[in-house]
Amino acid sequence: MADHGMKLTLKIWRQKGPKDAGKLVDYPVTDVSPDMSFLEMLDVLNEQLVMKGEEPVAFDHDCREGICGMCSLYINGRAHGPQTGITTCQLHMRSFNDGDTIYIEPWRAEAFPVIKDLVVDRSAFDRIIQAGGYISVNTGAAQDANCLPVNKKDADAAFSAAMCIGCGACVATCKNASAMLFVSAKVSQLALLPQGRIEAEERVLNMVQQMDVEGFGNCTNTGACEVECPKGISLQNIARLNREYLSAALMSEK
């Protein structure tokens, strides 16, 4: 007898726009292969909805390779779903069981308003980067890199911080919707390198100020952000951010 795949009940957040109340809507799906990615399963659902003349579910995606961070879905109460160290697009349906009910929601944060259904506006992150997440020195030619030696420990730490893809899982997971892990990663990747020290004080003050303006909450120190981060960004970056901010604040008072 042929295997017809998994049968699932999807409870998906539907919201027509930022000012709409929104609600969870049930959608049964059948013939789901365990080898499908989570987004492929949503593609199948949307094809079925379109065929019936219904509005497809809006969700964000781009690379589908775990690089861009756009596939920001809150699945069964966890950012990016039940697996750790991966984004939603890397999640496969074999992580679920036949007959499961799956809750699919957008990020829940005041600073990430819902645009439609599962799509949220994460431009607050962009404005934080614009506030200071850059350097304004000439990089020179390729061979000039050797003129600014960086010890391996700092280089590795900067690289690890730079792996942040800005998906917002840290914000969605934090009970205060804090952006501290994101901001600390962006501050750390530059603060650890000589090219980034020139504007270090101005950078951290401006980025933290913008973070507060955007309406993100305070750090809860529970560590949930690190657990749910698909790139494993370390809490040590938050400690570094606090040191950088305190030092810069003290220097600005002189």
Which of these, 134, 133, 127, lies nearest to 112 by C-alpha position? 127
Sorting pLDDT into bands at 50, 70 and 90, what band is 3? low
For 148: left if phi > 0, alpha if psi spans -120 to 50, otherwise beta; the answer is beta
d(CA 115, CA 228): 23
Same domain, 91 and 138: no
Contact 237, 161 (CB under 8 A): yes
- Full-model pTM: 0.93
Strand partners, 9: 28, 101
Question: Alpha carbon 235 to chain centroid distance?
Answer: 15
d(CA 145, CA 122): 34
Question: What φ, ψ does residue 171 adopt, rounded to 5°?
Answer: -70, -45
Q: How many domains does the chain have?
A: 2
Q: How many CA atoms lie within 13 A of 8 on its CB side?
A: 25
Query: Has residue 104 been placed in a domain?
Result: yes
Same domain, 106 and 22: yes
What are the tens digits of pLDDT across the range 201-235?
A: 999 999 999 999 999 999 999 999 999 999 999 99
What are the tens digits of pLDDT across the range 135-188?
A: 887 766 766 667 778 899 999 999 999 999 999 999 999 999 999 999 999 999
Query: Has residue 176 been placed in a domain?
Result: yes
Same domain, 141 and 51: no
Q: Which domain holds residue 60?
A: 6-116
Query: Has residue 223 been placed in a domain?
Result: yes
d(CA 29, CA 52): 14
Q: Give pLDDT, residue 36.
A: 97
d(CA 114, CA 184): 25
Query: Has residue 1 been placed in a domain?
Result: no
